[in-house]
Structure 1
Amino acid sequence: MITVRFLRRGLLAGAAVTATLVLSACGGDDSPSGSGMDHGATTAASGAPASAAANDADVAFAQHMIDHHRQALQMAAMAEGRAADAGVKELAGRIKGAQQPEIDTMNEWLTAWGKPAPMPAASMASDMPGMQHGAMPGMMSAEDMTTLMGAKGGTFDKQFLTMMIAHHEGAVQMAQQEAAQGSNADAKALAQKIVTDQQAEIASMRTMLEKL
């Protein structure tokens, strides 16, 4: 009887140990598998942010606004040595400080989207090769730019403000189109910033122009 009891106890203990090992093994399999699934989900989520996606409107906005900003920088650079009004000089400095970083940002977006950036020389005129005439509202023609470059003093100030108001109005129109048709959150946010900033500058320039 004693032998049988010990035998039964041994069998029960062995069964318990076996069950524990099996459960542990199953738990071990589930844990790495679960971690693997979580890791995969994390990788998928962090690999390419949703904001990296861009539609045709986003691409067109970045490409066109880069050219638009570049021309504004060219106009602002003319103020040095030509402008007479301190407010015009200060405005030109603000434009250079604000729009160059935006150009850099949009160039980075185009690279990330695998899309080409416009050539720098294209910003001199609105009827550039490969661009439909009038596709970028507010762009000055080559003749406009030449006229501004030849002006000085008060004449330059008035021409600069008049042209830059029209230029800003074009940028606002382009940005509003992006806000309505774009899909990229970052591009739409920049578009709204451009609308806000440049509408404020338009109001300021109109006031300045009235005083000249």
Structure 2
Amino acid sequence: MDMAKDLRGRKALTARPLRLAAATATAGLLLTLAACQDGGADRADDGQASIVAPGRPGEKSRTLTPEQAAKAKPDDSPNAADQSYVQRMIEHHRQALTMSALAPERAAADPVKRLAERISAAQKPEIGAMQKWLALHPAPTAGSGTTAPGHGHDHDHGSMPGMATEQQLKELADARGADFDRLFLKLMTAHHEGALTMAGEALAGGNNPAVEEMANEVVATQSAEIHRMRAMG
């Protein structure tokens, strides 16, 4: 089964229609506000500019004050699924970098070496972006009651899908030539498939657009690399 297509289908099914509807309404508010600022504003009795919010199909438009329009903006604050994904994916990416760093001196095939270079080039910046996101959105402290079980900093990294065990990493480090190539492709394919599983969970359960964008990037990049590794293996 093509995991990339499966994830895209799952994303389509879990596209959160309420968020789409809210985003569409917000866009309408912003367009109306822009028109107001250009001189076409309706004025409330107190002289304050009012904003016309287009209604959904079959519903009338509403006239809102700027304060009411601000409150109508969809809540895209991070939830436990967003926090868990970013925290765990940083560690997931770090292991991929550890594995890729072994390739230059151990791999026999140039395509394997180039693949390892591409993985490092893609995932290092992604780690940086996720670390910046965490700095802007710190995880709730322990005991706050807002962090779901298993979604805090104390999660078990070894339980993440696709992660290689310490023994597998040792075997990879000890391998050379064609043996390294075969083991690297096997472990990295499983690693990427695990990343797709994690991204799918974030897309289904998360709430923050930035995390959604990061998860979609993982799906696009690592799906292509999985196909490449299967062809090489």
TM-score (normalised: structure 2) = 0.62
Q: Equivalent of 2:224, from 189, 200, 210?
A: 200
Does the 8 Å CA contact 2:91/2:157 hold for their aligned counterparts? no
1:188 aligns with 2:197: no
Amino acid at match of 2:101: A
Number of aligned positions between the proteins: 164
Secondary structure in structure 2 of the residue aligned to 1:145: helix
The equivalent residue for 1:18 is: none
Among 88, 91, 106, the alignment partner of 2:112 is: 88
Shift of 1:131: 2.8
Q: Deviations over 1:100-152 (max 9, x none)?
A: 11000100111111239xxxxxxxxxxxx943475310001111111100111
Native 8 Å contact 2:88 2:157 kept in 1: no
Deviations along 1:56-97, one digit per CA (max 9) or x if unpaired, are 000000000000000000000000111110100000000000
Q: Which runs of 4+ in 1 moved over 3 A?
A: 132-135
Q: In 2, Cα distance between the equivalents of 1:186 and 1:131?
A: 22
* Separation (CA, whole Å) in 2 of partners of 1:199 and 1:89: 19
Structure 1 151/93 Cα, relative in aligned 2: closer, same or farther at 3 Å? same
Q: Which runs of 5+ in 2 are unaligned?
A: 1-45, 50-65, 141-152
Larger gyration radius, structure 1 or structure 2: 1
SS in 1 for 2:164: coil
Matching residue of 1:98: 122
Tell me what 1:160 maps to. Answer: 184
Aligned to 2:32: none
Superposition RMSD in Å? 2.9
In structure 2, the residue matched to 1:6 is: none
Unmatched segments (≥5 aa) in structure 1: 1-29, 117-128
When residues 66 and 133 of structure 1 are mapped into structure 2, their CA distance, relative to the original with a 3 A threshold, is: closer
Q: Do the aligned partners of residues 133 and 59 (structure 1) sit closer, same or farther apart at CA in structure 2, a change above 3 Å counting?
A: closer
State whether structure 2 residue 101 is matched by structure 1 residue 77: yes
Higher helix share: 1
Percent of residue pairs identical: 45
Residue 157 (structure 1) shift: 0.4
Distance 1:134 1:70 in 2: 13
Matches within 5 A, 1:49-128: 53-115=77-139
2:172 matches 1:172: no
Change (3 A) 1:105 1:141: same
Deviations 1:184-204 (A, max 9, x none): 001111111211211111111
Question: TM-score, normalization: structure 1?
Answer: 0.68
